[in-house]
Chains A and B, each alone.
Chain A
Amino acid sequence: MTHGADNPLEHPEVQLANGRSYLLVYLFSCALLGAATWLVTRQAMTPIGLFLLTTALAGVVVVAQGVFLLHMEFSETQRWHTVSLVLFIPLFILTIGLSAWMFHGLYRRTMLMPEMPAPAAAAPAAAGMPSMPAMPGMQR
């Protein structure tokens, strides 16, 4: 991040701007997200297939925008921006992933799902499980 130029327009971060790469990533992003929208509205695949494909397309678009819009690279100017982003990504994924995983388990163990049979019908399946004592206000 060292720089000694007096003219602010000669600063390396100003000189990173490139209209052609901005246009390319714009067209690329619109095309990929347009394709994802078309596939979803047409229900062109199975739900799990659509889920995986749209996730992959989002990943490609985010990486392309990170490189060409945010200039995530390892030049002297951008090195620490990139390092901080790389260190940030695990925090981002862990925050979302661990919350989703934790609540998924919580729901499965504590919630009566709408599509599940009524508690009386489900009781034989849970015969081997220890019963919970009735608590004030608890719904059976």
Chain B
Amino acid sequence: MSASASEIIDPAKVHLWDRGHHGHDVIGTRTFGFWLYMLSDAMIYAALFASYGVLSHVMNMAGGPMPGDVIRPGYAFGETLALFTSVLAYGYAMAALRQGRAGGVAGGLLGAMIFGAVFLGLVGKDIGDLFAQGITPERSGYLSIFFTLVIYHALHIVVGLLWMLVMLVQLVREGFTGNVVYRLVNLKLFWHFQAVVWVFVFVFVYLQGVIA
């Protein structure tokens, strides 16, 4: 790299790049890459929230149910508690990982899965009740985006629960290897990010839907 202009270089012996391993931070690089992926996922949420802002206009109720007929803020707060408790349990799993306690990590994962499943059950019952009343996505533009937002978030929770199940198996089979640890860190990013997104869904769709 420091060759002067007058130095003669043999092309056959030149190395244009270094293939060697010099303590590259694999965990940090993969975590940062996954974080960028999460931000791109958040742009999909941005598109959905933009659609919600457009389709929550009274014109798009199309004479069908209004937000006040669809939303139960108290029930949605119960969903919030379940999801936040799941996130807390995963946080304790990470605290146990820091201390190298496999039992604590497994317990935290199980707790996060249980409360995540409770959240999914509450969301599923809410959607089922609305469907039973004939309140379905095709009734109006507002209902289309309402169900799309809620179900899109719920699908993330399903993916997170499956991922936790896989990590439990890998934890038992492999222990704290580099691969298992970076996947647990990435899953922590994914799971905690769902809590942040839910704050937007809960406040802007549920609470402010009732206000409107």
Contacts and interface: CB of A to CB of B under 8 A. Distances in A.
Given A36-B203, A84-B35, A3 B27 contact: yes
Interface stretch (B9-17, B92-100, B117-125): B92-100
B59 A111 contact: yes
A13 B202 CA distance: 29
Interface in B82-124: 84-85, 87-88, 91-92, 94-95, 97-98, 100
Interface in A1-42: 1-4, 8-9, 11-15, 17-19, 22-23, 26, 29-30, 33-34, 36-37, 40-41
Interface in B49-74: 49-51, 53-54, 57-59, 73-74
A23 B91 CA distance: 9
A84 B203 contact: no
- Interface of A, helix, strand, loop or mixed by DSSP: helix
B185 interface: yes
Interface in A91-139: 91-92, 95-96, 99-100, 103-104, 107, 111, 113-115
A74 interface: no
Contacts of B189: 70
B40 to A, nearest CB: 9
Nearest to A9: B100
Interface residues of A, number: 57
Bin chain B's interface residue count. Answer: 35 or more
B28 A69 contact: no
B211 interface: yes
29 contacts: A3-B27, A4-B25, A8-B177, A8-B180, A9-B100, A11-B181, A13-B27, A13-B185, A14-B181, A19-B95, A26-B85, A29-B84, A29-B195, A33-B80, A33-B203, A34-B77, A36-B207, A37-B74, A37-B76, A40-B73, A54-B207, A65-B192, A66-B196, A70-B193, A77-B28, A92-B43, A95-B46, A96-B49, A114-B58
Closest 10 CB pairs of A and B: A22-B91, A99-B50, A17-B94, A19-B95, A100-B53, A8-B181, A58-B203, A1-B28, A4-B23, A3-B25
